Structure 1
Amino acid sequence: MTTPTPAAVAATYLEALKRGDIPTLMAQFADSVVWHQPGANRFSGAHEGVMGVGELLGGMMEASHGSFQLEVTGPMMVNGELVAIPVRFTGARADAAMDMDGIDLLTVRDGRIVEVRLFSADGASEDVFWGQA
């Protein structure tokens, strides 16, 4: 069996995210994945393991009242095991909204995402949206 390329893993991840296919999405992560959430809000910091990432993503959907969405805005850029993806992410609830550009940087090794680093165009606004713990 051939190990999928970093671009193929990222494409599967993004397509699953778009469809809301959580089992396929989560299957793209290595058991020991580390997700680095930027900022100074209740979700900021390193989230480790598939369970930790699942809890993070579930918490974000709950905090955004199910409105959080991510859209790919340009082509993936691949450099070895690194895949950079330009995105736009949005969310809204009665007391807050966000709509900004970002970059998702995935590290893919042995056919699985082992690390995720996110970059936001307006970290202060993102912090306001997600709020403090």
Structure 2
Amino acid sequence: MAEHPHAALVRNGYEAFGAGDMETLAGLMTGDCVHHSPGESQMSGHFKGRDNILAHFGQLMELTHGTFRVELEGVYPDGRGHVMAVHKWHADRGDRGIEMKGGLFFTIVGDKATDVDECVEDIDECDAFWGQAE
């Protein structure tokens, strides 16, 4: 069976992110897409618009000196414009490393992501890893 097109969209997004292909990643989102990151750290908040989301991803890489990476574990579409993706992410920052399960819940309209809600296994640990803005 062929993969559902919404699942393929999300899988393509993960592949583009992993390859650092921000042009492809940008093409998978609407211009007014919003990414919601949980917690109270400098990486938490609501990132509105494709450019702000891509800047947020750039900051992930900057703060971790390029060590941030994601291993996709599963992609689950509902056939009604939503996809849940489950992954494990890894990063090093300063003298500390982190490995954590998490996921993204996508809302898709047409062929593009319009809203992305991020969930993590341990919000407090994420906040401690990312810290507050310096």
TM-score w.r.t. length of structure 1: 0.91
Within a 5 Å distance, the mapping from 1:1-133 to structure 2 comes to 5-73=5-73, 75-79=74-78, 80-133=80-133
Determine if contact 2:103/2:119 at 8 Å carries over to the other structure: yes
Q: Deviations over 1:76-106 (max 9, x none)?
A: 1111211101100010133221101011111
Percent of matched pairs sharing the same residue: 28
Q: Say if 1:85 and 1:103, in contact at 8 Å, map to a contact too.
A: yes
Following the alignment from structure 1 to structure 2, what is the Cα–Cα distance between the partners of residues 62 and 20? 13
Coordinate RMSD, CA, aligned: 1.4
Contact 1:35 / 1:46 at 8 angstroms: preserved in 2?
Answer: yes
The SS at the match of 1:43 is coil
Report the secondary structure of 1:88's partner residue.
Answer: strand
Kept in 1: contact 2:93–2:129 (CA 8 A): no
Using structure 2 for the length normalisation, give the TM-score.
0.90
- SS of 1:40's equivalent in the other structure is coil
Which deviations, in whole Å up to 9, do the C-alpha atoms of 1:30-89 show, x marking residues without a partner? 00000001111011110000111011111111111111101112x311112111011000
CA distance in 2, matches of 1:83, 1:98: 25
CA displacement at 1:13 relative to structure 2: 0.9
Checking the alignment, whether the CA contact within 8 Å between 1:6 and 1:81 is kept in structure 2 is yes
User: C-alpha separation between the residues in 1 aligned to 2:98 and 2:48?
Assistant: 26
Query: Which 4+ stretches in 1 moved above 6 angstroms?
Result: none
**Counterpart secondary structure, 1:76:** strand
Give 5+ residue unaligned stretches, structure 1: none
CA offset at residue 25 of structure 1?
A: 1.1
Residue 130 of structure 2 aligns with an amino acid whose one-letter code is W
Q: Which amino acid aligns with 2:94?
A: A
**What is the rounded CA distance, in whole Å, between the counterparts of 2:54 and 2:11 in structure 1?**
19
